[in-house]
Every structure is written in C-alpha cells, then in structure tokens.
Copies of this chain bind each other. A is one copy, B any other.
Amino acid sequence: MVREMHLNAFLSSVGHHQAAWRLPQSDPLANTDVKHFQHLARVAERGRLDSLFLADHPGLWGDISRQPAAALEPTVLLTVMAGVTEHIGLIATASTTYNEPFNLARRFASVDHVSGGRVGWNIVTTATLIAARNFGLDELPPHGDRYARADEFVGLARKLWDSWEDDAILADKEVGIWGDNNRLHPAAHDGTYFSVAGPLDVARSPQGYPLLVQAGSSEDGRDFAARHADAVFTVQKTLEEAQAFYADLKKRAARFGRDPETVTILPGIVPTIGATQAEAEAADAELGSLIKPEHAIKQLVSILQVSADELRLDEELPAHVTTDRHIEGAQGRYALVVGLARREGLTVRQLIGRLGAGRGHLTIAGTPEQVADTMQHWFENAAADGFNIMSPVLPSGLEGFVDHVVPILQARGLFRTEYSGTTLRDHYGAARPTNQYVDGLG
C-alpha cells in the first residue's frame, strides 16, 4: 500500500496570524460565529482532510486589545461542526490538569457517539499560571507533577471508556433485559491523583477511545506522546530539526513496545499561498505590517519570562535568555523561540515578525506547487507523516489550501481522493482499541 500523508486543519477563528483579524475581509467576531466554523468544517471535508483541530486554554490570555481572545469551549464547537459534516475527524484540546477524568471521559465519549466515531483528544497539561488561578491554585503545578497526573488521567480514561463491553447492551424486549451487568467493568481506580469508581454512564463509543493526540516537546512530553499518542502535533522550523524529532519520537515509541508506524507525526506548517511567490510574499508582508510591536513585546515577555524593559526592539535577546535556562511553563515553546532567535541572530523586532507569522512553525509563502514540494520533501525524508495546516488567514487560507494544494498532492499520489473509512481512527490508520477487560487480562 502506498504511504499517504495525513492532513489536519488547525482552526483558529480568523487565522493563525495574530493580525489576521485586521484584514478587511476578516470577521472580528468569528470566534463565536457558528456559521463561520461550520463553513470551515465543510471546506476541510471538501478537501478530504483527516481532521480539524481546536486548541484550547481554560483561561483568558491577559490582553484582549491585541487580537480576538475568547474561544468557545471546544467540545461544544466540535459538536456544532459534527452536525454539518459526515467524514472529517474532530479533534479538541482538553487539559488533564483542570478537568475531572469522569467528566472529560464522558464528554469525549459523547462527542464520539454524536459524530459517529469522529472525535479526537489533544491531551495537554496546560502550562500557564493564568489557568492555574482559575482552578484554585496560586501557582503552576510543577512540570513533572502535571505529566504524572496526565499519565494517570489517560490510564483512568481508558478504564472508563472500556467500562462497557461493546456488546453490553442486549436490548431484549421480550425477556425485559436491557443491559448485561456482567459486561460492565467499574474502573475501581484508586491512584495518586484520582479515585474513581466508574463505570462510565455512556456505552462504549464507535471508536472505543477518541484518537489520542499530543504535542509535548519536553522530555516528559515526548515520552508521554510515545506512550499514548496516535498522532503528534509538533513545531519544527527546519528539515533537520524535524528529522531529529521524528527519529527520536519513533524510537521512543518502539522503546515503549509500540509499532512506530502507529504514531503519526504532524509538524505544523503555515502556508501563505499565491499565484506567484511574489504575490504570496506580498500577502505576508501586508499581514506583518498590521502587527503592533507593543502587543508583540507583551507576548514575548510571557513566553520568555523576562520583563519588558529587558527587551530592545533593535537588539538581540538579553544574554541570560539561553536555550537551557529552566522556566516553569511551556518549556518547548520557550526553547523554540530562543533557539530561533539565537540560530539566526535575530533582533527582537525581527523575531516578532517571524513569530507573528508562524509562532515558530515552518512558514512557506509561495505557489501551490512550492507548498506541495516542501510538504513532499519533508514527507519523503523522514521528517513528517503529514502536516498540521495552520492557515494564517481563515477561511481564505484553508480554501486556498484545499482548492489548490490538495489537488497537487492528490495528483502526485500523496493524499487520498476519497475517504475510505468512516471514523477518525480509520483516517489515521489507528486501530480501534481492544477492550482491556475483554481482550487483555479479562
């Protein structure tokens, strides 16, 4: 069988460029507009993409002056998009640090039911003080604790998703027996972080478990992904870095006893598509001109954990901001931003321009052919199993990708022309999990 790419549309209201909302065609209220998200979902499905994805953070980033800052709860928005599509997978971020396992396992199982088996969960531990303070904490739980909790959380969620055998419902009207109590399995979980009796109050869902996605880049994060994830989102700026990450993660998966091919690695790509390269670069330049430096400085302060007066627009980052400096928070993002600045010797102003466009992801401004060429190059050189498409402007960027890049990938035999399965797991070639109580020890 020919190896094909997997493509995910990372949605973000009006687009991933922080100034996208200022474009004339952008709806600055799109983040609460059902019709906008329904349109995006239909476009992604028209392109036969594997899935769409909503990031999430349970808290408001400090400054709403900069860009559209609010976001609907993602499982609600997935359900909205499930209602107008039939095939495309629906992935949402949810935090293991700020949810109850019973509630979250149930919600994902519910969305899996209503979507006919199309839900995915991007597992995050949420590395911000902003979120912590919305859940009774004064400080961010340490990195290791968050991952230990996440690990227990996922194991417990699996118990809950398996707590109904697939054939637990007999529906025997004649005898008057609806379900078989012997095919229920309480989680009976008593762990370090959680104590949950179970069983879940939702029958096992079409996919068994949601597709499990992860995007950690720290040591803990990579091990977590290698143990649990069916798909991995990652931020990689160069082919070499992407290859190193790809090799490392596949090796870790093997070390945990998994077939490395069952872990799909999807670097982010920020494509600006034009009829010519010059047209694409002009579109990027227009977006860049709409970034306000004072806003971008605030963002850098948060990522780098420095004070604003340490940063000078036309100088490089302060000397103490090194890649190996320890910070409590999103270490992967920190290392990526500092690495980018140091590698290319960027001033703060230059760094801001680069981050505004792609937040450290691979950015390409070019023709559809050029975008497809880069994707093919990464895909065929052990850097990617597919891509996380982060259009700078939505919906136009996704429309352009679907209408102009996807056909090229299809013509080259690199991407499906029709959906062959019905569930998100089908699209990613991820097997439906066996039930641990039936097929494992039980």
Contacts and interface: CB of A to CB of B under 8 A. Distances in A.
Given A76-B76, A110-B73, A169 B28 contact: yes
A59 B29 contact: no
A65 interface: yes
A203 interface: yes
A419 interface: no
A22 interface: yes
A290 to B, nearest CB: 7
Given A201-B57, A202-B71, A113 B32 contact: yes
A301 interface: no
Contact of A66 (B57, B75, B178, B184): B178
A114 interface: yes
Interface in A270-291: 290
Contacts of A23: 173
A347 interface: no
Interface stretch (A132-140, A142-150, A213-221, A434-442): A132-140
Given A65-B178, A70-B164, A198 B134 contact: yes
B22 A114 contact: no
A389 to B, nearest CB: 24
Interface string A53-66: 00001111001111
Contacts of A168: 64
Name the residue in A136, A195, A198 with the highest tally of chain B Cβ atoms < 10 Å from its Cβ: A136
Contacts of A34: 113-114
B135 A196 contact: yes
Interface stretch (A95-103, A259-267, A319-327, A365-373): A95-103
Contacts of A79: 76, 79-80, 83
A225 interface: no
B178 A67 contact: yes
Nearest to A202: B70
Interface string A73-101: 10111011011100000000000001110
A393 to B, nearest CB: 13
A37 to B, nearest CB: 9
Q: Tell me which of A23, A83, A130 has the highest count of chain B C-beta atoms within 10 A of its own C-beta.
A: A83
Majority secondary structure, A binding face: loop
Nearest to A190: B136
Q: How many copies does the complex hold?
A: 2
A21 interface: yes
Contacts of A176: 19, 22, 290, 292, 295
A69 B168 CA distance: 11
A203 B70 contact: yes
A96 B22 CA distance: 40
A114 B72 contact: yes
Contact of A60 (B24, B84, B199, B290): B199
B58 A169 contact: no
Nearest to A292: B176
Which of A60, A67, A171, A200 has the largest number of chain B CB atoms within 10 A? Answer: A60
Given A195-B136, A196-B135, A180 B64 contact: yes
Contacts of A32: 113, 202-203
A58 B200 CA distance: 8
Interface in A180-222: 180-181, 184, 194-203
Contacts of A195: 133, 136
A177 interface: yes
Contacts of A103: 58, 73, 98-99, 103
A135 B106 CA distance: 13
Contact of A181 (B64, B80, B180): B64
B60 A200 contact: yes
Interface in A110-137: 110-111, 113-114, 130, 133-136
Interface string A40-62: 00000000000000000111100
B102 A135 contact: yes
A134 B202 contact: no
A68 interface: yes
13 contacts: A21-B173, A28-B173, A57-B201, A64-B169, A64-B178, A64-B180, A72-B114, A73-B107, A73-B202, A77-B114, A83-B83, A130-B197, A135-B196
